[in-house]
Amino acid sequence: MARFGATCMGLLFGDALGHGAMFEPSTRNSQGWSVNVPSCPGGSCLFFAQGAGIGCPNVTGHPTWRDTLFRPCAQPDQPTIHFRNQLLGTLNLRAKGLLHPMSHFDWTKFHPWRYPGASPVVDPCGIASGETHDGNPLNGARPPPGIPHGMRGSRMPKLFKETVWIAGSITEVAWAIAANHGGGYQYRLCPADEELTEECFQRMPLEFVGNVSWLQYGPDGLDTANRTAIKATRVSEGTFPSGSTWSKNPVPMCGDSYTGGACDVHRLHPLRCNAPAFPPPAPGVFGLGQAACTLEPRDMDATHHRCTCTTEDFVKHSLQFGIVDQVRVPLTPGKYVLAWRWDTEQTPQVWGNCADVTIVKEDEGEPTVPFQRYAGCESCCIGTCANCTRCVNDKTGDCAYCWNPLPGFRPAHIPRAQCLGHEDESGGAPLWFPGEERKLWSPGCTKCWADGGCERQSLTTVI
């Protein structure tokens, strides 16, 4: 009995990081990078809010369920999605046969998905690492390469590529999972000439069309000919704002461990996922995702070394597909910012990405073809690597940073970003897919500069 108590306490104090990202349309958060599409283009899955409790006025920054449950804000809201709701819930659903003690009490009571839309965020487009400082990487509190902690997604530069939608039409949007924490999501618009606040986006949630979503496969989730239709579960009762429609995350996490498939060193097989948390939408579609294998080398200590993955393990765990939905485009033309918001259930976290969209009348423009591979020059012209134009043949002094891996999240099995030195043969950004043994990756600045990519955008590169 004493052994069970010690094990239980160890499990109660474990935590996991979670990530997801919108990849259609391409987002500001991605820096225009094509690496690690669809689940985390350019590190865009590292923009979120940490410590988000339903009905609370502000995020707390606290990363764990213990903080949210035992130290909530003064007057948290009560959940509208009840404990073990078999239709809308995404974990703790197997009341029988799941022996883990965490499955028998409502420890996610104040987490975002329990009242969709009612949790606060710092920025509707997310903030880098969910923190303004270097937090616990096991909770995802590390920024994308070259991006400072706490960078607001709404302040990231617009992409050079313009996404165009036709007013009143039906278009497609998509997101993908790097670390599955259940919950559900919504797409919203805010006019581009207004301040990008949560309140602005709450006024224009997009209407989902129909009750079907698609799992879209391919190594980067862009193969429109390789789709599987699945039933979508929409919810518009008990949401905030009242009546706004959300869609349940259709991909179940692991149901035989409260970590959902993340590293659990107290299990005989700490990364094995034996059963889904609820019936999967298609055979074999469940699990945590690639984050099961993306601990940083510094975390491979005496506690987590049992969660070391091979390259084959990484490919096996990666959810190499996107979740596609159709939405109806508003009738009013103009320039907008599109926000995707994912309210999780397992953790007190809200994930957000933003993209720029122009809506035109049918006779005034052509719509953008969705799901085209995008490798932009943004970081080379106005972003992280813009100061490297004079460093192509110089690796010393102020140029040294251009030839070294950029600071930020450095997971295993995903190449680290470096401004210069690891382009493809054309000088552009090389393609990379899970399973390929590439240690370093560069965004293709030499090609951008040689082709005049920056000048074509009427931008001045900082030197």
Q: What is the pLDDT of the chain when averaged over all its residues?
A: 88
**Number of residues assigned to the chain:** 463
258 to 86, 275, 323: CA distances (angstroms) = 17, 12, 24
Pick from 296, 320, 269: nearest CA to 413: 296
DSSP run (H or E) holding 174: strand 170-177
Stronger pLDDT, 86 or 302, i.e. the higher one: 86
* pLDDT of residue 155 exceeding 60: yes
Position 9 pLDDT exceeds 60: no
Beta-strand pair 349-360/334-343: antiparallel
pLDDT value for 241: 95
What mean pLDDT comes out for the span 207-231?
97
* Res 367 pLDDT > 90: yes
Which position has the higher pLDDT, 302 or 191? Answer: 191
C-alpha R_g of the chain: 21
Per-residue confidence (pLDDT) for residue 1, from 0 to 100:
30
Reference 337, options 200, 432, 455; nearest CA is 200
Share of the chain above pLDDT 90, in %: 70
pLDDT at residue 198 in the model? 98
Residue 413 and residue 314 in contact, taking contact as beta carbons nearer than 8 Å: yes
pLDDT at 410 (0 to 100): 86
Q: Name the band, by pLDDT with cuts 50, 70 and 90, for residue 10.
A: very low
Q: What is the pLDDT of residue 461?
A: 31
Among candidate residues 125, 269, 281, the one with its CA nearest the CA of residue 189: 125
- Taking residues 51-76, report their average pLDDT: 85
Q: How many CB atoms lie within 10 A of CB 243?
A: 9
Tell me how far apart the alpha carbons of residues 290 and 297 are, in angstroms, rounded to a whole number. 15
The string of DSSP codes covering 102-150 is GGGS-TTTTSGGGSTT-S--S-TT-EETTSSS---GGGT--PPTT--TT
8 A C-beta contact, residue 255 and residue 267: no
Kindly state the average pLDDT of the residues 343-354: 96
Q: In the predicted model, what is the mean pLDDT of residues 385-407?
A: 96
pLDDT tier at 95, thresholds 50, 70, 90: low
pLDDT of 15: 43
Give the integer Cα–Cα distance in Å for 116 and 367: 31
Q: What is the pLDDT of residue 171?
A: 98
User: What would the DSSP string read from start to end of 203-217?
Assistant: T-BPEE-SSEEEEE-
Q: Is the pLDDT of residue 13 over 80?
A: no
Report, as an integer, the average pLDDT of 220-245.
97
The pair of structure tokens assigned to 180 is: 């599955």
Kindly list the domain boundaries of the chain, sorted by start residue: 2-364, 378-456
DSSP 393-431: T--SGGGGGGGSPPSS---TTSPEE-SSS---TTSSPPP
Give the C-alpha separation, 294 to 418, whole Å. 19
Percent of the chain clearing pLDDT 70 (strictly above): 89
Within a 10 A sphere around the Cβ of 40, how many other Cβ atoms?
30
Judged against a pLDDT cut of 60, whether residue 413 lies above it is answered with: yes
Q: What is the pLDDT of residue 8?
A: 34
Residues in contact with 270: Cβ distance below 8 Å, sequence separation at least 6, in sequence order: 263, 264, 306, 307
Region 317-330: what's the mean pLDDT?
96
CB 59 within 8 A of CB 111: no
Whether 406 and 418 have beta carbons less than 8 Å apart is answered as: yes
The strand pair at 227-231 and 212-216 is best described as antiparallel
Confidence bin at 2 (pLDDT 50/70/90):
very low
What DSSP element (H or E) covers 445?
Answer: helix 445-450
> Is pLDDT at 418 greater than 60 in this prediction?
yes
What pLDDT does residue 98 have?
Answer: 52
Determine the 3-state secondary structure of 159 from DSSP.
coil
**Per-residue confidence band for 139, with pLDDT thresholds at 50, 70 and 90:** low
Beta strand extents in 147-248 (DSSP E only): 163-166, 170-177, 184-191, 207-208, 212-216, 227-231, 234-235, 246-248
Q: Which of 254-263, 265-274, 307-316, 347-356 has the highest mean pLDDT?
A: 347-356
Separation CA 162–CA 160 (nearest Å): 6
Cis peptide before 76 (omega within 30 of 0): no
Residue 306 confidence class, pLDDT cut points 50, 70, 90: confident
Residue pLDDT, tens place only, 437-462: 899 999 999 999 997 778 766 443 33
Q: Which residue has the higher pLDDT, 460 or 137?
A: 137
